[in-house]
Amino acid sequence: MKEPTPIESNVPHIVQEVVCLSCISRWIDVRPESVWLKDIVCPHCGETGFVICTGQIMPADEEY
């Protein structure tokens, strides 16, 4: 697992709708571009490695 990025850092990020294949939960994920989907921990079931992107990329400047 990578070291956390300091919040003061201005790094490019991705906003996507994702789904956990373990518990079938969906959410809007915001993460640095350097974080791989396989490293995301599902906030609902706590499993790692089951998150996939639904293909819906969300503009970063909109509210959800």
| pLDDT, tens only, 9-56 | 677 888 889 999 999 999 999 888 889 999 999 999 999 999 999 887
Beta-carbon contacts of 59 under 8 Å, excluding residues fewer than 6 positions away, are: 15
Task: Check residue 20 and give its pLDDT.
Answer: 97
Domain coordinates in residue numbering, the chain: 13-53
Whether the predicted pLDDT of 64 surpasses 70:
no
CB distance 7 to 13 below 8 Å:
no
Task: Check residue 36 and give its pLDDT.
Answer: 93
Task: Check residue 39 and give its pLDDT.
Answer: 95
Task: Check residue 58 and give its pLDDT.
Answer: 67
